Chains A and B, each alone.
Chain A
Amino acid sequence: MATIRVQREDFDAAAESTALARGRMDVGAVVSFVGYCRDEGGRLATLELEYYPGMAEAEMARVAREAESRWRLIGVTAIHRFGKIAPGEQIVCVVVAAAHRGEAFAAAEMMMDFLKTRAPFWKRAIRADGAAEGWVEAKGEDDSAAARWDAAG
Protein backbone atom coordinates (compact mmCIF):
# COMPACT_ATOMS: atom_id res chain seq x y z
CA MET A 1 0.00 0.00 0.00
CA ALA A 2 1.64 3.17 -1.17
CA THR A 3 1.93 6.37 0.82
CA ILE A 4 0.77 9.32 -1.28
CA ARG A 5 0.92 12.93 -0.13
CA VAL A 6 0.23 16.28 -1.79
CA GLN A 7 1.33 19.11 0.46
CA ARG A 8 2.41 22.75 0.55
CA GLU A 9 5.21 22.22 3.09
CA ASP A 10 8.65 20.75 2.42
CA PHE A 11 9.42 17.07 3.09
CA ASP A 12 12.35 15.10 4.50
CA ALA A 13 13.36 12.67 1.73
CA ALA A 14 15.98 10.95 3.90
CA ALA A 15 13.40 10.26 6.60
CA GLU A 16 10.98 8.88 3.99
CA SER A 17 13.73 6.52 2.75
CA THR A 18 14.57 5.34 6.24
CA ALA A 19 10.91 4.79 7.05
CA LEU A 20 10.45 2.29 4.21
CA ALA A 21 13.24 0.03 5.48
CA ARG A 22 12.80 0.48 9.24
CA GLY A 23 12.14 -2.75 11.08
CA ARG A 24 12.11 -4.85 7.90
CA MET A 25 14.47 -7.71 7.15
CA ASP A 26 13.27 -8.31 3.56
CA VAL A 27 14.29 -4.94 2.07
CA GLY A 28 17.46 -5.18 0.02
CA ALA A 29 17.22 -1.87 -1.84
CA VAL A 30 15.70 1.56 -1.37
CA VAL A 31 15.83 4.00 -4.29
CA SER A 32 14.77 7.58 -3.74
CA PHE A 33 14.40 10.32 -6.32
CA VAL A 34 14.02 14.01 -5.44
CA GLY A 35 13.08 16.62 -8.02
CA TYR A 36 14.30 20.15 -7.27
CA CYS A 37 13.37 23.59 -8.56
CA ARG A 38 16.14 24.93 -10.85
CA ASP A 39 16.86 28.65 -11.25
CA GLU A 40 17.24 28.24 -15.04
CA GLY A 41 20.56 30.09 -15.11
CA GLY A 42 19.28 32.84 -12.80
CA ARG A 43 16.16 33.59 -14.85
CA LEU A 44 13.64 31.95 -12.53
CA ALA A 45 12.62 33.64 -9.27
CA THR A 46 9.88 31.24 -8.16
CA LEU A 47 7.65 28.46 -9.36
CA GLU A 48 3.98 28.39 -8.46
CA LEU A 49 2.45 24.94 -8.62
CA GLU A 50 -1.29 24.52 -9.08
CA TYR A 51 -2.96 21.12 -8.80
CA TYR A 52 -6.31 19.38 -9.04
CA PRO A 53 -7.23 18.35 -5.48
CA GLY A 54 -8.53 14.82 -5.32
CA MET A 55 -7.42 13.85 -8.80
CA ALA A 56 -3.72 14.52 -8.10
CA GLU A 57 -3.72 12.13 -5.14
CA ALA A 58 -5.81 9.57 -7.07
CA GLU A 59 -3.55 9.70 -10.11
CA MET A 60 -0.39 9.36 -7.98
CA ALA A 61 -1.97 6.32 -6.31
CA ARG A 62 -2.83 4.84 -9.73
CA VAL A 63 0.80 5.31 -10.83
CA ALA A 64 1.99 3.61 -7.63
CA ARG A 65 -0.40 0.70 -8.21
CA GLU A 66 0.90 0.38 -11.76
CA ALA A 67 4.48 0.11 -10.40
CA GLU A 68 3.34 -2.43 -7.79
CA SER A 69 1.71 -4.50 -10.51
CA ARG A 70 4.90 -4.60 -12.61
CA TRP A 71 7.50 -5.28 -9.91
CA ARG A 72 7.58 -6.96 -6.50
CA LEU A 73 7.81 -3.89 -4.31
CA ILE A 74 7.89 -3.76 -0.54
CA GLY A 75 7.09 -0.09 -0.07
CA VAL A 76 6.28 2.98 -2.19
CA THR A 77 6.08 6.65 -1.15
CA ALA A 78 5.29 9.55 -3.46
CA ILE A 79 5.11 13.18 -2.29
CA HIS A 80 4.39 16.22 -4.47
CA ARG A 81 4.34 19.82 -3.28
CA PHE A 82 2.15 22.68 -4.48
CA GLY A 83 2.21 26.45 -3.97
CA LYS A 84 5.27 28.69 -4.21
CA ILE A 85 8.60 26.87 -4.57
CA ALA A 86 11.93 28.72 -4.87
CA PRO A 87 15.05 27.55 -6.72
CA GLY A 88 16.94 25.02 -4.61
CA GLU A 89 13.78 23.74 -2.94
CA GLN A 90 12.40 20.22 -3.33
CA ILE A 91 9.29 19.70 -5.47
CA VAL A 92 8.66 15.98 -5.62
CA CYS A 93 9.99 12.71 -4.26
CA VAL A 94 9.46 9.06 -5.05
CA VAL A 95 10.87 6.37 -2.77
CA VAL A 96 10.70 2.65 -3.60
CA ALA A 97 11.77 -0.27 -1.44
CA ALA A 98 12.25 -3.75 -2.88
CA ALA A 99 14.24 -6.92 -2.30
CA HIS A 100 16.65 -6.09 -5.12
CA ARG A 101 17.99 -2.89 -6.68
CA GLY A 102 16.86 -3.62 -10.24
CA GLU A 103 13.17 -3.46 -9.48
CA ALA A 104 13.59 -0.49 -7.11
CA PHE A 105 15.47 1.57 -9.74
CA ALA A 106 13.02 0.66 -12.51
CA ALA A 107 9.92 1.31 -10.44
CA ALA A 108 11.18 4.71 -9.25
CA GLU A 109 12.04 5.77 -12.79
CA MET A 110 8.70 4.65 -14.22
CA MET A 111 6.79 6.36 -11.44
CA MET A 112 8.54 9.68 -12.12
CA ASP A 113 7.97 9.39 -15.88
CA PHE A 114 4.27 8.71 -15.30
CA LEU A 115 3.87 11.36 -12.59
CA LYS A 116 5.16 14.02 -14.96
CA THR A 117 2.68 13.19 -17.71
CA ARG A 118 -0.34 11.98 -15.70
CA ALA A 119 -0.50 13.73 -12.32
CA PRO A 120 -2.51 16.96 -12.63
CA PHE A 121 0.02 19.61 -11.57
CA TRP A 122 0.90 22.77 -13.49
CA LYS A 123 3.92 25.03 -13.00
CA ARG A 124 3.85 28.77 -13.50
CA ALA A 125 7.25 30.48 -13.71
CA ILE A 126 7.83 33.85 -12.07
CA ARG A 127 10.86 35.46 -13.77
CA ALA A 128 13.73 37.00 -11.84
CA ASP A 129 13.88 40.05 -14.13
CA GLY A 130 10.20 40.87 -13.60
CA ALA A 131 9.30 39.93 -17.18
CA ALA A 132 5.90 38.42 -17.85
CA GLU A 133 5.27 35.26 -15.91
CA GLY A 134 4.00 32.26 -17.75
CA TRP A 135 2.82 28.68 -17.57
CA VAL A 136 5.58 26.17 -18.14
CA GLU A 137 4.93 24.20 -21.33
CA ALA A 138 4.85 20.42 -21.32
CA LYS A 139 7.88 18.82 -22.96
CA GLY A 140 7.68 16.25 -25.73
CA GLU A 141 10.55 14.29 -24.19
CA ASP A 142 8.45 13.72 -21.06
CA ASP A 143 5.78 12.06 -23.22
CA SER A 144 8.48 9.96 -24.91
CA ALA A 145 9.93 8.95 -21.54
CA ALA A 146 6.50 7.82 -20.34
CA ALA A 147 5.64 6.09 -23.63
CA ARG A 148 8.63 3.73 -23.50
CA TRP A 149 7.08 2.08 -20.41
CA ASP A 150 3.86 1.52 -22.33
CA ALA A 151 5.89 -0.14 -25.06
CA ALA A 152 7.71 -2.24 -22.46
CA GLY A 153 4.49 -3.16 -20.68
Chain B
Amino acid sequence: MKAVYFAWVRERVGKAEEELEPPSTVTTVGDLIAWLAARGDGYAHAFEKPSTIRAALDKVHARHEAALAGAAEVAFFPPMTGG
Protein backbone atom coordinates (compact mmCIF):
# COMPACT_ATOMS: atom_id res chain seq x y z
CA MET B 1 0.00 0.00 0.00
CA LYS B 2 1.05 3.59 -0.51
CA ALA B 3 1.68 5.67 2.62
CA VAL B 4 1.64 9.47 2.59
CA TYR B 5 2.76 11.76 5.41
CA PHE B 6 1.99 15.40 6.14
CA ALA B 7 3.26 18.29 8.30
CA TRP B 8 5.53 17.22 11.17
CA VAL B 9 4.86 13.54 10.55
CA ARG B 10 6.36 14.02 7.06
CA GLU B 11 9.32 15.98 8.44
CA ARG B 12 10.12 13.41 11.14
CA VAL B 13 9.75 10.41 8.82
CA GLY B 14 11.92 12.26 6.29
CA LYS B 15 9.79 11.57 3.23
CA ALA B 16 6.39 12.55 1.84
CA GLU B 17 5.38 9.11 0.61
CA GLU B 18 6.53 5.52 0.21
CA GLU B 19 5.33 2.02 -0.57
CA LEU B 20 4.76 -0.16 2.49
CA GLU B 21 4.53 -3.94 2.70
CA PRO B 22 3.59 -4.65 6.30
CA PRO B 23 3.33 -8.27 7.48
CA SER B 24 -0.08 -9.93 7.52
CA THR B 25 -0.28 -9.50 11.30
CA VAL B 26 -0.72 -5.75 10.72
CA THR B 27 -4.47 -5.47 10.15
CA THR B 28 -5.54 -2.07 11.55
CA VAL B 29 -4.42 1.54 11.32
CA GLY B 30 -3.18 1.27 14.91
CA ASP B 31 -1.17 -1.87 14.08
CA LEU B 32 0.45 -0.01 11.19
CA ILE B 33 1.39 2.92 13.44
CA ALA B 34 3.06 0.52 15.89
CA TRP B 35 4.86 -1.28 13.04
CA LEU B 36 6.07 2.01 11.54
CA ALA B 37 7.27 3.30 14.92
CA ALA B 38 9.70 0.36 15.08
CA ARG B 39 11.28 1.11 11.67
CA GLY B 40 13.91 3.59 12.86
CA ASP B 41 14.63 6.86 14.59
CA GLY B 42 12.63 9.18 12.35
CA TYR B 43 9.61 6.89 12.46
CA ALA B 44 9.96 6.41 16.22
CA HIS B 45 9.94 10.20 16.65
CA ALA B 46 6.99 10.70 14.28
CA PHE B 47 4.86 8.02 15.93
CA GLU B 48 6.04 8.36 19.56
CA LYS B 49 2.58 9.51 20.70
CA PRO B 50 0.05 7.49 18.67
CA SER B 51 -2.86 9.41 20.24
CA THR B 52 -1.72 12.59 18.44
CA ILE B 53 -1.65 10.88 15.04
CA ARG B 54 -4.63 11.20 12.70
CA ALA B 55 -5.08 8.79 9.81
CA ALA B 56 -6.99 8.50 6.56
CA LEU B 57 -7.68 5.49 4.34
CA ASP B 58 -8.15 6.31 0.66
CA LYS B 59 -8.61 10.00 1.59
CA VAL B 60 -11.32 9.43 4.22
CA HIS B 61 -10.66 9.94 7.96
CA ALA B 62 -10.10 6.61 9.73
CA ARG B 63 -9.92 5.69 13.40
CA HIS B 64 -6.99 3.69 14.74
CA GLU B 65 -9.26 0.63 15.08
CA ALA B 66 -10.16 0.76 11.37
CA ALA B 67 -9.18 -2.24 9.25
CA LEU B 68 -6.59 -1.66 6.52
CA ALA B 69 -8.19 -4.31 4.33
CA GLY B 70 -8.42 -3.20 0.74
CA ALA B 71 -7.10 0.34 1.23
CA ALA B 72 -4.71 1.50 -1.50
CA GLU B 73 -3.50 4.64 0.31
CA VAL B 74 -2.99 5.33 3.99
CA ALA B 75 -2.18 8.82 5.29
CA PHE B 76 -0.74 9.93 8.63
CA PHE B 77 -0.78 13.51 9.88
CA PRO B 78 -1.15 15.68 12.99
CA PRO B 79 -4.50 17.15 14.06
CA MET B 80 -5.59 19.62 11.40
CA THR B 81 -5.05 23.37 11.73
CA GLY B 82 -6.71 24.85 8.66
CA GLY B 83 -9.42 27.45 8.52
Which residues of A are interface residues toward B (Cβ below 8 A)? Answer: 35, 49-52, 54-56, 58-59, 80, 91-92, 112, 115-124, 135-138, 142
Is the pair B78, A138 in contact by a Cβ cutoff of 8 Å?
yes
Query: Interface centre among B60, B61, B79, B83, by most A CB within 10 Å?
Result: B83
* B15 CB to nearest chain A CB (Å): 14
Q: Which residues of chain A are within 8 angstroms of B7 by Cβ–Cβ distance?
A: 50, 122, 124, 135
- Between A and B, 26 residue pairs with Cβ closer than 8 Å are A50-B6, A51-B6, A52-B4, A52-B59, A52-B75, A52-B77, A58-B59, A59-B59, A80-B82, A91-B82, A115-B82, A116-B80, A116-B82, A117-B79, A118-B80, A119-B82, A121-B81, A121-B83, A122-B6, A124-B7, A135-B78, A136-B81, A137-B79, A137-B81, A138-B80, A138-B81
Number of interface residues of B (CB under 8 A): 16
**From B79, which residue of chain A is reached at the shortest CB distance?**
A138
B contact residues around A92 at 8 Å (CB): 82-83
Cα A137 to Cα B7 with chains together (Å): 11
Q: How many contacting A-B pairs (Cβ < 8 A)?
A: 74
